[in-house]
Structures are given as structure tokens and as C-alpha cells.
Structure 1
Amino acid sequence: MEVVSASHGVLGPLLGKLTSLLADECVRLKGVRREIRSLRSELMSMHAAVQKYAMLQHPDVQAKVRISLVRELAYDTEDVIDKFVHHLGNGSHHHGGFKEYFRKIARQLKTLGSRHGIASQIDELKARVKEVKEQKSSYKLDDIAGSTCECSGVDPRLSAFFVEEEHLVGIDGPRDDLVNWMVEDKGSSTKNLKVLSIVGFGGLGKTTLAKEVYSKIQGHFCCHAFVSISQKPNVKNIMKDVISQVGSQVPCEKEFTEDIDSWDEKKFIAKLRELLQDKRYLITIDDIWSIPAWDIIKYAFPENNLSSRIIATTRIVDVARSCCPRGDIDRIYEMEALSDLHSKRLFFKRIFGSEDCCPDVLKQVSNKILKKCGGLPLALISISSLLANRPKIKDEWERVSRSIGSALEKNPSLEGMNSILSLSYNDLPPNLKTCLLYLSIFPEDTVIDRECLVRRWIAEGFICEERGQSKQEVAENHFYELINKSMVQPVEVGYDGKARACRVHDMMLELIISKSIEDNFITFMGHGQTDVANRHGLIRRLSIHHIDQELASVLANKDLSHVRSLTVTASACIKYLPSLVGFEALRVLDFQGCQNMQEYDMNGIDKLFQLKYLSLRGTDMSKLPSGIARLYGLETLDLRNTYIEEFPPEIVQLVKLQHLLVSSGFGWSVGRAKMPNGIGNMRNLRVISGFNVIKSSLGAVEELGNLTTLQELHIQLDGRGSQEYKKHEEMLLSSLCKLGGCKLQSLWIRAADSTPLQFLDSWSPLPSSLQRFRMTTDYSFPEMPKWITPKLTSLAYLNINLVEIMEEDLSIFGEMRALLSLVLTFNGAQNERIIVRGHAFPCLKEFCLFFFSNSGSRPTYLKFEEGAMPKLEKLERRDIFRKKGCSGCHKE
């Protein structure tokens, strides 16, 4: 029930906030403590009722209305409480002393009227509580049946399943058929460009099949690229993506992409044609929504008589036909549902680990469920994931079977798919429903970064600490539980089983968008999703994918003072946005990827006293907005891939900041941002990324060592031969020695040259908590650093450059019990043959070696004894010839 989930997203955190407020001595105004205690008591009763309502699969209109009233009441209560705390000056950044004493007295006198006004607002809230209580049967829940919803444990097979999700049951036959067709040779006619179009509705596995075919045949081509496009495609971004992928595989002059961001569509097409004209290429265009989109894109791919291939996927038959006009050359492949045999394999493997392990008592009801799923892979995965953690009891499975409905039996349409997805959605606990609904804020086909998402959830107040776990840990668990439930798709799963990001399936996105609109959880402004004009309630979260002058005038007449989150995803929207002054309740402000930011006046940002998350990542900003240093509640400041190099001195007053992410300009080699002096005062910092150590002051580098809670440090270190380098090197080492003895888990050092890092050899004491060490530089250690020993029991990822690799070095690496990934670059070896001993590297899953050889270098061979690297999944070796005077290559 979506209204329950959205209500939980505000009620749970609000109750915790009220409890903390009552324990705070700042509540001195006569009568307010009593009123707040009374208000909390009533809201706790409502919260209990809301939790019970969560068991209703099909709530009636009256139930939805009551829950909506409770939700809006909770939102308004939190707004009042936040203003109350703000006016009292709670959480001020100032220190004690006489000056603060007089500030405090002045503040109390100045805000006396405001505090009395807030007391009146609390009285109004209590009156609204009374009205809700007086509604007939508000808390009578005797008619609710069924068991309570419990949060299940993580499926132990989770990692294996989502790492290998592309290998779906029943895909081998279609894949092999299409692979043979794509690579077959039948005389001169096969020299033509051929297009394969895979067509079918969402959920059948078009993209998965395309990826399988693409992966199998890409080795036959000089270059290849795989790009996904959205319903309203940005042709320039598509072309840029293809050029980027192809350019990384074939020789490409630096001047070729000069001023690429200023190219228009015509130039992008011309340049891509130029790049591909003399090459046999393979291009996959995933999810084409319209014929006009294809009519533009196709001109970028020349008919060069080199047997090039294009794979296109779409849901629309007419688009597929447009992609394949030559029936004798091209091919349209229509996706089909899985056969009964393959459906059973997928279904039972997901639940029991094997199709042969289903108990006899469940076979009959299983057949009913399989029939209703209709061979749809997404439906099968969703329902089997739901049942995987349910009791293996016939009555329980019968209840699931009855609740699926009969839509798929009649027509496997979007409505039928929504019914299937709704079943899995309804099985989620309220906290996970809230987190899932929040994903509807992102545009279609967005790859949602895990770390950014987790930080946004926390900033919104969805996450509470529990059972000794931090908010960060709880939020990460929520992320992986959504993957476990097959509600989102993992992206870039590492060898540690962690996904870097996730993607929401199109069908699931449509479901959660409709629920978010119905529940007033998110208000959308975009292509086909604009509901702001007809909205009568208050706007709580605003997601803007498109806006024009007409919509801007509608938005200008709306009350924006209750908006908690503003997400803008298109540069064209910037000039139409209303002033930030009106967004006084904002917690999250995200302009990621927007250009032309100079057209938007960000004055008034200092009035956003609740702001916790600010992302200007990927924008063209070169200067921080004035007043940003007064955002005393800010927890995340993301300035990556901007042109911001310096910070105002007052920035260090943001003592609640936990994530400070910068990098000026674009590309790995650019890093001009300076650490602010006084950074040591920001004691809550957990992640620092992108600062140039050499350009920062010695004092700032020294203060790094004071950040005892720091977990991740990613820095730029270049300036070889400069007078500043030696002093900065010594100061950085001193700070690293302090951090290594605290909580530092990740260190990434990047350099644009061969800046020496030999000072790291003196890193002591051992960084016992270190999990990841990465270096992106031409520099190589002359010998193994002393601090790299088997005593680093947490080190899981190591990327290191050595001048010469010795057998003893591999022995040290091999004794690291936690090591999962080793990326080793070396220029030579002690012996021509290096032996990897048996039982070495017990947990290693990825082993990559890059051997940079000069003229006359001896080849180096590895010999693996039996039992070495028993869990290895990827072994890669590259012998790279380095011309005289040419520096090495960076490994990103």
C-alpha cells in the first residue's frame, strides 16, 4: 500500500526527532514541552495504525484518505518542529565563551515572537490531530486479516544470481541462432552492413539477448559500442557515448574530439561516420522508442562494405521495421515468452537452487503460478524472489497464487505486468517501499549511483540507525535488499559482490511513478509526466526533467515552501526555475549534469537551513554560490567534474559535512582544487575526494591528520621537481600515518606525471583498516613498500606499480587472505619465470598484469602450481611495448 510507505518515510524519522527534541534543554518555552510530548503520543498511535494498515492489500477509499491525512499532518509537524529548532539556534556552529553568551541572549530576544508563533502552530497541529481521531473507525482495524509483514533475510544466493543475471534460462537457443546469422559469410553480399532488430514488450529480455549476442561476437570486429537511449533521446549524448567507446579501442588523434561539447548533431554524425568509415564495427542501440529517433541515429553509421553490424532493440514493431527495411539483408527478431520447461527452470532455480528440488506438495500450486506468469522472465524472477523467503507451505503459496490476479491469462500487456510487479512491491516492508518509491525521481534509463542514492536517502530522513548499525550501513542494506527482491537491477557488480549502481526496469519505473503521484510523494515535471498543473495539494518533492515558459508560470504560482527535494536533470530547465528563496524546507538539491548554470540565480541558498545534500556535479560552475558556507546542516557537497578550484574560508564552519567531493575540470589528469585551510575543524568528514595536495597549503595538508573519522581519501598528487613537493610530501606522510591508525579504508592517489611516491614506504603504523589502495600514475615503486604485508587483513583491492616484480613479492600478495582483486603493473622481473605457489591467493577473483617492456626486455612467464588462486574468475595479462621516451599508460 503506497500511502503507507510514503507515510512511513516521514512518520518514523519525525517520532525520533520529537523524542530527541524532548530530551534537549533548548525546549524552554513554557508549555511547549508538554504540547510536544502530547503531540508525539498522538503521532505514535497514528504510526501504529499506519503499520497495521500496511497489511491491507486493497485498501478502500476511506482508508487511503485517512492515511493521507496522517501523512500530511506528519509532514507539517516536521516542518514546524524544524523551524522551532532553527529559531532557537539549536546546533549552532559557534563555540562557547562570552561572545557566544551574548549571541545567545540576543538570539532569544530576537526570536521570542517567532517562538510564540510556533507554539500557536503546535496548537493548530493538535487540533488537526483531534479531527483525524474523530473520523469514524480511524483506528478500528479488526477487519484486517493475514499475517504481519516481516523483513526477510538476504538470499544467500544473491551474489551469484545478480552477477550472472545476463545468463537467463532459455536464452542459449535464440542467442546462438542470432550469433550465427550475424557472423555468417555468404559471398560478397555479406560485406553489406546488416541490422538486427530485436522487438518485444518490456520484461521479455530484449536487452539481455542483445547483450549476449554482442558479447559473443564483439571479437570479430575492429571496434564496438553498446549504448542505451531513453524515450526522449539526446542524439548528441548518444553519439558522444559511441565515440568514447570506439575511441578507446582504435587509434584516435587527440584533436579528433577537440571542442566535442560544442558540436551540434550534424557534426557529431559527420565525425562518427569519419571514425567508422574504414573499420568493421559492431554497434548496439538499445531501446529505441520512435522512428524519427532512428532516422537521425542511422546516418551516423556508414555502409562501408566491411561486414559491419548493428543491433537495435525496441518495443514497437513499426520502429523495428524502420530499422530493417531490407528484408533480404536485415533481420527482425521477435521476442517470445519462455517455454513451460524454461519457465520452470528459472522459477525453481531461483527458489530452491535447482529445478528438481520442489516438494511434491507445492508442485500443483507452482503450476498455477507459472501459468499466471505467462512465461515472462521479469514476472518469473519477481514472483520467485518473493517466494524464496516465504515459508514453503502450500496455503502460503495458494494465497500468493490467488493474489496475482488473472490479467496475464488474458493478455500479457502492461497492465498485466503491473499486476505482477505490484505483488512484489506489496511484499516490501514500509521502509523499503519508501526507498523504492524514491527511485522514481530519476529519469528513465538512469544508472543510479549507489553512494549518491544512499546519501540522498539519509538526507531525506528515510534512514534511522538500528541495532548498532550506522545510517550508512542501514541504507546500504536497503539498497542490496531491493536487489535481492529483484525490484532494481544491479549495475557493475564488483568481485566483492557489491554493485556500483542500479537501474530501475522500465515496467517497475512506471509502477512506482504512478504510486508516487497517487500518494503525493513526488511531483513530476517532464515529458508525459507533468502533473503539477492539476495538483491541488502541497508539493513535497519536485523532479524536473523538462520545463518551458508555460509550465514555469504554473510553478511560479505554487507554494514551494514545503518542497523537501528538488532534482533538475536537464540544462534547458535552468532558466525557468523559480528562485531558491521559496524552497525553505529543502533537504536535497541536485543539479547534476546541468549546464548554463550562470543563467540561474542561486542567491538565497543560505536560507535553506535544512539542506543536507547539495550536488553540482558535472555542471559548468566555476565558483561556489555565495552563502554556501552558512549551510550548517550540510552533510554532502558534491562538486565533482566542475570548474571550482577554491573555497571561501568560512567553508570549514560546515562541521556536519561528511562527504566533500571535488575535482576541477574534466578528465583524470585535471586536479586543481585546493583544500581549504582549517579543514581539520570538519571532524565529521568521512570521504574526501579530488583535492590537489601540492596546490593546497601545508597547513591544510597537516590538518588532514586530525580527521579521525575519515574513511576514504582520494587525492591528486603531482608537481615532480617543484620546490613545494618535498615539504608537502613529508606533511602528507605525517597525516597518512595518523589516518592509518584510525578508520581509513580507501586511499587512491592520482598523478598526471611520474611524481614519486616512495615516501609511502615509511607509512607507519600499518593502516590496519585499509580495504582499497589504488594508484593512477606513471610512477612505479622501486621495490615492494614495507607496509604492504599479509598483516593487512582487510585489504581486498590492490592496484600497484612496481619497477620489478619478484617471486617474493607474489608470495606476499598471495598470503593476503582478504585480497579479491590485484592489478599489478611492472617493468621487468627478477627471473624469466615466476612461480605462483599452490594455495596462494585463496580468495583472489581478479588478477590483472600489465608488463611494460622496452626494446630488448626479456619476456616474463607465470607458472601456477596446483591449488593456486582457487577462486579466480578473471585472469588478464597485457604485454605493452613502450617506445623510447614514451611514458606508461594509466589504468583507470
Structure 2
Amino acid sequence: MEVAVSSSDGVMGPLLGKLADLLAGKYGRIRGVRGEILSLQAELTSMHAALKNYTMLEDPDVQVMSWISLLRELAYDTEDCIDKFIRRLGKRGRRGGFKELLRDTTRFLKSLNSRCGIADHIDELKARIKHVKELKDCYKLSEILCSKTEHAAVDPRLCALFAEEAHLVGVEGPRDDLVKWMLKEENSSTKDRKVLSIVGFGGLGKTTLANEVYRKIQGHFDCQVFVSVSQKPYIKNIIKDVISQVPCQDGSTKDTSDWDEKKSIAKLRELLQDKRYLVIVDDIWSTQAWNNIKCAFPYNNCSSRIITTTRIIDVARSCCPGSDDRVYEMAALSDLHSKRLFLKRIFGSEDHCPDMLKESSNEILKKCGGLPLAIISISSLLANRPVVKEEWEKIIRSIGSALENNQSLEGMSKILLLSYNDLPPNLKTCLLYLSVFPEDYVIDRERLVRRWIAEGFISEERGQSQQEVAERYFYELVNKSMVQPEDIGYDGGGQTSLANRQGFIRRLSIQHIDHELAHLLAQEDLSHILQVVRVWKSMI
């Protein structure tokens, strides 16, 4: 759902920029035309502001999505009308100054109804704008936005905390390395507090690895604590959670119900002052959250240890400012470990996979890209399907849609969406644009940022050109583990939703085409496609 919201936001930005350019250019000086442009700009700017608020919703309801769909098509049609106006008017333009332009333009505008119908289109757009605006009030969308409150949800990472060691694959090497590093000063004279920060994309197994290290070394510490931060941390509750896990010397319980943030931090520091503590601070999303939390853990010369996990490289570095601290970047599973985990989950052993499914299993693992969460989720789905090649090939063709529609993959979908939802609207738009490239396609950075600029996704900012802003966006996506600098791909699963789309298709990316998809495409209006990406496989 969030993807639809952000794609709409990406439409509105370029459209408003185009309207601003019209006002600043020669067409904005034409009486009547300027008024129409100003009217469109005012209404669409207001709608764009509302749309930006909706991008902050993690789970927009049906009415919100319906309104957004109408607004998206309205924005596209408005842009088409403006382009047609500029193209037709540009052909009539003369050299010779403003008077000649005005005279020619006036004659042209008088004949718009009969010659190209643009005036009718403008009137229609104005009526649709009014309708969309009225629907927003009718649906009471502003009230929905205000009433959206946090609701208690099951943490999708919960199962990682209780994973059985015997079921894990590929963890032993990193775990043993980190355990050795965490304990290497145990017999030395230096007993400073050290921080290990594990960083990587969602689903790589950061929490699982941190918990495995925790299990191996917890016996070396006076107290052990695990606390999750999440995207919207409530620092006072986090500190109170830690306090509840630290034993009191006199065995008494701690009533923290009326404590504020300052008192909670002071009490925790007091409890930990003379203890060798081990703390896991899981799922940190900002340097500010870490700065608010770290002051609660004192430097007490007891060889204490803190393990943090995050998806953001800059956050990991902020957790580890000292020369004795360590940032550990998670890597995807190797092909061998991926295959072992996948087949073990389905057949109990990699040796029990039928020969007819080996090629299909390799294709599925290629799509999973060494992501443990993806491998576990897809293998769980296949474990409940008939062990026949046709069923596996069906999953290969529809992994993208299966993420949306299959309950067994819901946890994986939510974890992957956490990173996407954390992006600001401008970065969401730029990230979604990567879907126009074929699967396993390595994208040149310069080419990508130029295309972002050409699409109108990038605006100049104070002191920075469009090129500089676009490059900054690229590196922000890298920093947030959303883009791999040398291996950017798209799963190609979106093609199955064509038949359900209302309105026009603007960009079409085809990774695989068969008779069913060809039939769907034959029924679609493809006249408005702005860009077609090459067919990945020829039709069977």
C-alpha cells in the first residue's frame, strides 16, 4: 500500500515543477493562460501537501488508497494536457518578440476547441480537481490522518530471538569471530566498555547473529539485557525495560511507574555502576535515538559490552566512535549455505531434493540473493505445496505478488517494508524508479541520477545543483542499506497486477512474458507509456 502512496508523490512533484516553469516562462505572461495555471497550481499544491502526510502512514486504509489513486491519474492527465499545450503552442511560435507571440497565441487559443480540444480538457481537469477535493472532505481523510494512533503489533523479528541453534545455517563463523573479539580483553589490564554494532539490510539475520553471540558469552557477565528500540522509540519506556532486567542487590523489585526519563536514566546508571553488563540494543534507526540511550550505560572499567543492530551505516558508525569499538557489516549467505538452508527447510536434508527440482531451486535461490529471511519464507511456502516442478516454477514467476497475497510471507513483507517506510518521500520515489531496470541488471550511478533528474524527481536545493542533490540521494540509499553499490536488481514480480490497474500505464518493465501476460497486455491501453524496458525472455 505504501508503494502506491509514494508513487503518487513522485507524480505530483514533477507536475508542480512543470507548472512553476510555465508561470516563469513566456506562457505565464499570456492573459487567461496565467490564471488557469495559477488555479491548477494552487489546488494541486494543496493536494500534494495532503499526500505528503499520507506517505507517513504505515498502513493507509482503503478510502485513503482510493483517493490517492484518483489523484495519481488526475496528476498524469494534467501533465499530459500541459505537454500537449506546450507542444501545440510551440509549433505556432514566431520569432520577432512578445507582440508577435501574443498575437499568434491569441489566434491559437481562440481555435483550441475546434482544433485540438485542449480547452475542453482543461475544463474537464478543473471539474475532476473539484471532485477529488470534495471526495477528500466526504471521506473525512483529514480526520483519518489525525486519528491514526500506534497500535500494538507483534514484532516481526520476534522469532529471531528464539531460533533454535540447530536450525541456523551460516552463523557459526561470524558468531565465533565476534565472540572471540568480545572476550579478548577478559584477562588484560584494559577493561574499557566496548561496543559492537552489527549493520545490514533487513532480513540478513542481524538480530539472530547478535542473539547467538549473546548466548555464547552471557555467562561472563553480572547481568544481561536485551532491548528493542524500533523506528519510533519511546526512550523512557526503553530505559524502564532495561531497569526491569537488571537485578537489584537486595532482591527488591523496582516500581518505575511514576519515573520520568531523567530519573530512569539516573537509576539505571546507579544499578550498572559496579556491574559488568552485557546489553543488546536491537534495531536502532537514528543516531539521535542512540545518543539518547547510550548515556544510560556508564563507562565503569568492568569490561562491559554493548551490541547494537541497525540497518543504517551512519548509525552503526555513531555507535562505535572509539578505536576499540567494532562495526560488523552483515554479508549475504554464500551459495552453499543458501542451498543448505533452503533444502533443509523443505526436505530435511539437501541430499533429498529430487533431480527435477534442482534447477528450479537454483532459480529461486538466485532471487533470494542470500537473504536468510527470504530463503526461510519461500521455503516455508514451498513446503506446503505439491512437490512438482510446475508448482515451483509458478512460485518463481510470482514471488513479487506472493509477498502481497500469501499469509506465510507476511512477516517477510513487513520486515522488508520497515526500511522502505523509513525513507522520506523523495527517496521512496527514487528507489521505486529502480523497478524499471531488469532483474540482475547493474545500474551505472551516473546514468541513474541523470534519469532521476530527467524524470523531474530532483529539485535544486540551497547551495546544491540538481546533480549534487541526486548524487546525495543515491548515497543516502546506500547508507540506509537499500541499494548495493555493485549489484542492484528488481524481482520482476509486479507484472501480474496489470489487469487490476485502473487508468493508464506510464512505465512498463517486463522481466518475463508468457501467453497469459501477452493476453493481459493486449487488453491494456498502452498509448500513454513513457518508457518500456526490454523484454527479459522471449514469449514461449
**TM-score normalised to the size of structure 1?**
0.32
Compared CA separation, residues 51 and 22, structure 1 to 2 (3 A) = same
Quick one: which of 340, 346, 350 aligns to 2:211?
Answer: 340
Q: 2:174 & 2:36 partners in 1: Cα distance?
A: 66
Given that 2:6 and 2:425 are in contact with CA atoms closer than 8 Å, whether structure 1 keeps it comes out as: yes
What SS does the corresponding residue of 2:78 show, helix, strand or coil? helix
> For residue 8 of structure 2, what is the aligned residue in structure 1?
7
Quick one: which of 481, 486, 490 aligns to 1:486?
Answer: 481
Quick one: which of 435, 448, 451 aligns to 2:446?
Answer: 451
Larger Rg: 1
Q: Percent identity?
A: 51
> For residue 117 of structure 1, what is the aligned residue in structure 2?
117
2:463 aligned with 1:564: no
> What letter matches 1:503 in structure 2?
I
Compared CA separation, residues 569 and 448, structure 1 to 2 (3 A) = farther
> For residue 370 of structure 2, what is the aligned residue in structure 1?
none
Compared CA separation, residues 337 and 22, structure 1 to 2 (3 A) = same
2:348 aligned with 1:477: no
**Residue deviations 1:434-454 (CA, integer Å, cap 9, x gap):** 111222233333322212221
**Residue deviations 1:137-170 (CA, integer Å, cap 9, x gap):** 45524752689xxxxxxxxxxxxxxxxxxxx996
Compared CA separation, residues 536 and 10, structure 1 to 2 (3 A) = closer
Given that 2:207 and 2:282 are in contact with CA atoms closer than 8 Å, whether structure 1 keeps it comes out as: no
Given that 2:27 and 2:33 are in contact with CA atoms closer than 8 Å, whether structure 1 keeps it comes out as: no
1:339-738 equivalences in 2 (<5 Å): 340-342=211-213, 362=238, 383-384=283-284, 386-388=285-287, 390=289, 392-393=291-292, 414-491=409-486, 502-504=487-489, 524=495, 530-548=496-514, 551-552=517-518, 554-570=520-536, 572=538
Q: 2:412 & 2:18 partners in 1: Cα distance?
A: 39
Q: 1:462 & 1:67 partners in 2: Cα distance?
A: 19
Shift of 1:462: 1.4
> What letter matches 2:211 in structure 1?
D
Shift of 1:24: 2.2
Given that 1:26 and 1:90 are in contact with CA atoms closer than 8 Å, whether structure 2 keeps it comes out as: no
> For residue 17 of structure 2, what is the aligned residue in structure 1?
16
Give the structure, 1 or 2, with the largest relative contact order (CA under 8 Å, sep 6 or more): 2
Aligned residues: 330
Q: 1:478 & 1:366 partners in 2: Cα distance?
A: 36
Shift of 1:548: 4.7
Q: 1:367 & 1:486 partners in 2: Cα distance?
A: 32
> For residue 73 of structure 2, what is the aligned residue in structure 1?
72
> For residue 163 of structure 2, what is the aligned residue in structure 1?
none
What SS does the corresponding residue of 1:447 show, helix, strand or coil? coil
Q: 2:77 & 2:105 partners in 1: Cα distance?
A: 28
Compared CA separation, residues 52 and 420, structure 1 to 2 (3 A) = same
**Residue deviations 1:639-666 (CA, integer Å, cap 9, x gap):** xxxxxxxxxxxxxxxxxxxxxxxxxxxx
1:172-187 equivalences in 2 (<5 Å): 172=174
Compared CA separation, residues 559 and 363, structure 1 to 2 (3 A) = same
Given that 1:543 and 1:566 are in contact with CA atoms closer than 8 Å, whether structure 2 keeps it comes out as: yes
Q: 1:570 & 1:90 partners in 2: Cα distance?
A: 39
Compared CA separation, residues 84 and 536, structure 1 to 2 (3 A) = same
What SS does the corresponding residue of 1:144 show, helix, strand or coil? helix
What SS does the corresponding residue of 1:89 show, helix, strand or coil? helix
Given that 2:175 and 2:212 are in contact with CA atoms closer than 8 Å, whether structure 1 keeps it comes out as: no
Q: 2:67 & 2:464 partners in 1: Cα distance?
A: 33
> For residue 37 of structure 2, what is the aligned residue in structure 1?
36
Compared CA separation, residues 12 and 339, structure 1 to 2 (3 A) = closer
Q: 1:381 & 1:84 partners in 2: Cα distance?
A: 57
Given that 2:426 and 2:457 are in contact with CA atoms closer than 8 Å, whether structure 1 keeps it comes out as: yes
Compared CA separation, residues 561 and 540, structure 1 to 2 (3 A) = same
Given that 1:541 and 1:563 are in contact with CA atoms closer than 8 Å, whether structure 2 keeps it comes out as: yes
What SS does the corresponding residue of 2:533 show, helix, strand or coil? strand
> What letter matches 2:488 in structure 1?
R
> For residue 146 of structure 2, what is the aligned residue in structure 1?
144
Given that 2:19 and 2:37 are in contact with CA atoms closer than 8 Å, whether structure 1 keeps it comes out as: yes
**Aligned-pair RMSD on alpha carbons?**
4.6
Given that 1:457 and 1:463 are in contact with CA atoms closer than 8 Å, whether structure 2 keeps it comes out as: yes
1:254-293 equivalences in 2 (<5 Å): none
What SS does the corresponding residue of 2:468 show, helix, strand or coil? helix
Q: 2:470 & 2:242 partners in 1: Cα distance?
A: 34
Shift of 1:388: 3.7
Given that 2:452 and 2:458 are in contact with CA atoms closer than 8 Å, whether structure 1 keeps it comes out as: yes
Q: 1:45 & 1:37 partners in 2: Cα distance?
A: 12
> For residue 129 of structure 1, what is the aligned residue in structure 2?
129
Shift of 1:361: 8.0
Shift of 1:559: 1.5
Shift of 1:389: 5.1
Q: 1:477 & 1:452 partners in 2: Cα distance?
A: 14
**Residue deviations 1:217-263 (CA, integer Å, cap 9, x gap):** xxxxxxxxxxxxxxxxxxxxxxxxxxxxxxxxxxxxxxxxxxxxxxx
Q: 2:484 & 2:92 partners in 1: Cα distance?
A: 39
Compared CA separation, residues 463 and 381, structure 1 to 2 (3 A) = farther
Compared CA separation, residues 341 and 549, structure 1 to 2 (3 A) = closer
Given that 1:362 and 1:393 are in contact with CA atoms closer than 8 Å, whether structure 2 keeps it comes out as: no
What SS does the corresponding residue of 1:542 show, helix, strand or coil? strand
> What letter matches 1:387 in structure 2?
S
Compared CA separation, residues 204 and 31, structure 1 to 2 (3 A) = closer
Q: 2:207 & 2:60 partners in 1: Cα distance?
A: 36
Given that 2:477 and 2:483 are in contact with CA atoms closer than 8 Å, whether structure 1 keeps it comes out as: yes
Given that 1:73 and 1:125 are in contact with CA atoms closer than 8 Å, whether structure 2 keeps it comes out as: yes
**Residue deviations 1:733-762 (CA, integer Å, cap 9, x gap):** xxxxxxxxxxxxxxxxxxxxxxxxxxxxxx
> What letter matches 1:120 in structure 2?
D
> What letter matches 1:450 in structure 2?
R
Given that 1:382 and 1:486 are in contact with CA atoms closer than 8 Å, whether structure 2 keeps it comes out as: no
What SS does the corresponding residue of 2:508 show, helix, strand or coil? strand
> For residue 195 of structure 1, what is the aligned residue in structure 2?
none
Q: 1:143 & 1:336 partners in 2: Cα distance?
A: 33
Q: 2:51 & 2:76 partners in 1: Cα distance?
A: 15
Given that 2:73 and 2:503 are in contact with CA atoms closer than 8 Å, whether structure 1 keeps it comes out as: no
What SS does the corresponding residue of 1:570 show, helix, strand or coil? coil
> What letter matches 1:125 in structure 2?
L
Shift of 1:456: 2.0
Unaligned runs of 5+ in 2: 150-169, 179-201, 218-224, 230-234, 245-279, 294-308, 310-372, 378-407
What SS does the corresponding residue of 2:50 show, helix, strand or coil? helix
Q: 2:130 & 2:177 partners in 1: Cα distance?
A: 63
2:58 aligned with 1:63: no
> What letter matches 2:433 in structure 1?
Y
Compared CA separation, residues 38 and 105, structure 1 to 2 (3 A) = closer
> What letter matches 1:542 in structure 2?
L
Shift of 1:77: 0.7
**Residue deviations 1:183-238 (CA, integer Å, cap 9, x gap):** xxxxxxxxxxxxxxxxxxx9447xxxxxxxxxxxxxxxxxxxxxxxxxxxxxxxxx
Compared CA separation, residues 478 and 172, structure 1 to 2 (3 A) = same
> What letter matches 2:142 in structure 1?
K
**Higher percent of residues as strand:** 1
Q: 2:497 & 2:73 partners in 1: Cα distance?
A: 19
> What letter matches 2:286 in structure 1?
L
Q: 1:540 & 1:365 partners in 2: Cα distance?
A: 49
**Higher percent of residues as helix:** 2
Q: 1:21 & 1:503 partners in 2: Cα distance?
A: 36
Q: 1:470 & 1:91 partners in 2: Cα distance?
A: 33
> What letter matches 2:8 in structure 1?
S
